[in-house]
């Protein structure tokens, strides 16, 4: 997802995009190597509209990705769709900028995502898109809203029907 700043069109850029799963998991590999990488079943597909405002980039669009999640209640994997919209403004940073500026100069830079400009005056949106994808990752995942979960006693998946424990009398207190 590389865009050149040379001959940037007046109206900005607008296009569909697709990012393969490795693009999405790369940023996890860089950060937390311990984390188990979730299964991403399809490319991230979406649409993006880009506009230049000074040295900032206005970015608006949407995406969808099919993933395999693990149900929080019954621990069964299931296929789900993660989709989201984004409407953001990010800073385009010059290659030298990160070296020259120290931290804590009163500029609340940490809050704003930054996209580095590369030596050939282009920038790559793939890492930012991957960021948007992980931000949309659900905190809670249920295979279905009324998932019955597992029997705390025998561990049977109660979505498959009642287990034998439920016919037993409670034995002790």
Radius of gyration of the chain (CA): 23
H or E, element range at 25: helix 21-31
Let me know the angle formed at the C-alpha of 52 by 47 and 53, rounded to the nearest 5 degrees: 130
Closest contact distance (angstroms) between CB of 146 and Zn ion is 9
H or E, element range at 7: none
Return the number of the residue (17 or 78) whose C-beta is nearest Zn ion.
Answer: 78
Return the number of the residue (80 or 109) whose C-beta is nearest Zn ion.
Answer: 80
Return the number of the residue (80 or 93) whose C-beta is nearest Zn ion.
Answer: 80
Closest contact distance (angstroms) between CB of 140 and Zn ion is 11
Phi, psi of 126, deg, nearest 5: -55, -45
Q: Among residues 24, 40, 44, 71, which is the contact residue for Zn ion, using CB under 5 A?
A: 71
CA distance 43 to 63: 10
Closest contact distance (angstroms) between CB of 172 and Zn ion is 16
Q: Among residues 19, 44, 143, 150, which is the contact residue for Zn ion, using CB under 5 A?
A: 143
Q: Among residues 165, 168, 170, 173, which is the contact residue for Zn ion, using CB under 5 A?
A: 165
Which residues, 6 or more positions from 20, have their beta carbon under 8 angstroms from its beta carbon? 43
Q: Among residues 74, 77, 126, 135, which is the contact residue for Zn ion, using CB under 5 A?
A: 74
The verdict on 128 binding Zn ion (CB under 5 A) reads no
CA distance 167 to 134: 43
List contacts with Zn ion (CB under 5 A): 71, 73-74, 143, 147, 151, 153-154, 156, 163, 165
């Amino acid at each position: 997802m590389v865009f050149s700043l040379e001959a940037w069109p007046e109206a900005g850029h607008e296009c569909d995009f697709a990012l393969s799963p490795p693009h999405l998991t790369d940023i996890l590999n860089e950060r937390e190597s311990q984390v188990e990488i979730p299964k991403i079943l399809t490319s991230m597909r979406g649409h993006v509209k880009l506009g230049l405002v000074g040295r900032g980039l206005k970015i608006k669009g949407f995406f969808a990705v099919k993933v395999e999640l693990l149900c929080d209640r019954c621990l069964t994997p299931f296929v789900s769709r993660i989709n989201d919209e984004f409407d953001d403004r990010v800073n385009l940073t010059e290659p030298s900028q990160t070296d020259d500026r120290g931290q804590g100069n009163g500029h609340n830079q940490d809050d704003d995502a930054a996209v580095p400009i590369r030596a050939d005056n282009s920038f790559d949106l793939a890492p930012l898109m991957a960021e948007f994808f992980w931000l949309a990752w659900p905190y809670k995942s249920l295979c279905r809203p009324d998932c019955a979960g597992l029997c705390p006693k025998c561990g049977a998946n109660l979505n498959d029907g009642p287990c034998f424990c439920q016919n037993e009398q409670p034995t002790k207190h």
